């Protein structure tokens, strides 16, 4: 899900929503070493993870992931602004390690997976923001609500695997308010506060394979 370079720069969800003074992406020099990465890629679900973390009962975190997802990337090493991403996530594949909780998440209180089986992301803009960090902006659709989402991602490197496939890796995160997508179920606690926080951290560990030419 987004674009490239070589090392690591810490990207936080707060950075994704913060406006800071940066050199425009077009001004940043293209890295010649990235030219070979330009092309179309397919996300490898067996070696990728789309996860989330949410605060539970005001005292701890629940972590989960969506086990079934697919997507494509188009990477442009010379002009990162031309890069794109499209990802489809199967809601019914949600897994927090507790069957009853997963069933609740799939139900009408939360995702209503029978009616809205997919969560989708379609990029609308991409830019290099410095070092190995790239910013991907797009439309995230959950249930019948589409809202913008911005993710800062770090390029984790490229390699040719033992089968001869060229791979690239990206890692990133973003924070959303689930209520913005109509996910409003909650329960009040006797001690104050609520059972499930509105803020959700999304995490992305992506391995993608370049299409054969």
The ranges assigned to domains in the chain are: 13-210
Q: pTM here?
A: 0.83
pLDDT per position as a tens digit, 95-128: 999 999 999 999 999 999 999 999 999 999 999 8
The answer to whether 91 touches 85, Cβ cutoff 8 Å, is: no
Confidence bin at 32 (pLDDT 50/70/90): low
CA dist list (Å): 16 to 119, 138, 187? 20, 12, 29
Model pLDDT, residue 28: 41
Section 41-65 average pLDDT:
95
Other beta carbons within 10 Å of 24: 10
The answer to whether 181 touches 147, Cβ cutoff 8 Å, is: yes
Model pLDDT, residue 31: 58
Confidence bin at 14 (pLDDT 50/70/90): very low
| 129 vs 5, more confident | 129
The answer to whether 45 touches 70, Cβ cutoff 8 Å, is: yes
Q: Which of 11-15, 70-74, 85-89 has the lowest mean pLDDT?
A: 11-15
Confidence bin at 129 (pLDDT 50/70/90): confident
Pairing relation of β-strands 133-142 and 166-177?
A: unpaired
Euclidean distance between CA atoms 1 and 11, whole angstroms: 14
Asked whether residue 191 carries a pLDDT value surpassing 90, the answer given is: no
CATH class belonging to 13-210: mainly beta
Q: Which of 35-39, 87-91, 198-202 has the lowest mean pLDDT?
A: 35-39
């Amino acid at each position: 899900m987004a674009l490239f370079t070589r090392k690591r720069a810490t990207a936080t969800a707060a950075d994704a929503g913060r406006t800071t003074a940066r050199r425009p992406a077009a001004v940043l020099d293209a890295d010649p070493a990235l030219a070979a990465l330009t092309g179309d890629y397919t996300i490898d679900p067996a070696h990728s993870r789309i996860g989330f973390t949410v605060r539970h009962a005001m005292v701890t975190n629940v972590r989960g992931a969506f086990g079934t997802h697919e997507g494509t990337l188009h990477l442009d090493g010379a002009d990162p602004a031309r890069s794109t991403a499209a990802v489809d996530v199967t809601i019914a594949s949600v897994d927090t390690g507790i069957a009853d909780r997963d069933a609740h998440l799939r139900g009408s209180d939360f995702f209503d997976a029978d009616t809205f089986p997919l969560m989708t992301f379609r990029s609308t803009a991409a830019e290099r923001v410095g070092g190995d960090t790239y910013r991907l902006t797009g439309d995230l659709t959950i249930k019948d609500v589409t809202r913008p989402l911005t993710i800062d991602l770090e390029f984790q490197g490229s390699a040719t695997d033992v089968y001869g496939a060229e791979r690239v890796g990206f890692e990133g995160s973003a924070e959303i308010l689930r209520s913005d997508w109509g996910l409003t179920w909650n329960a009040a606690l006797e001690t104050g506060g609520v059972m499930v926080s509105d803020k959700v951290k999304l995490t992305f560990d992506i391995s993608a394979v370049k299409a054969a030419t």
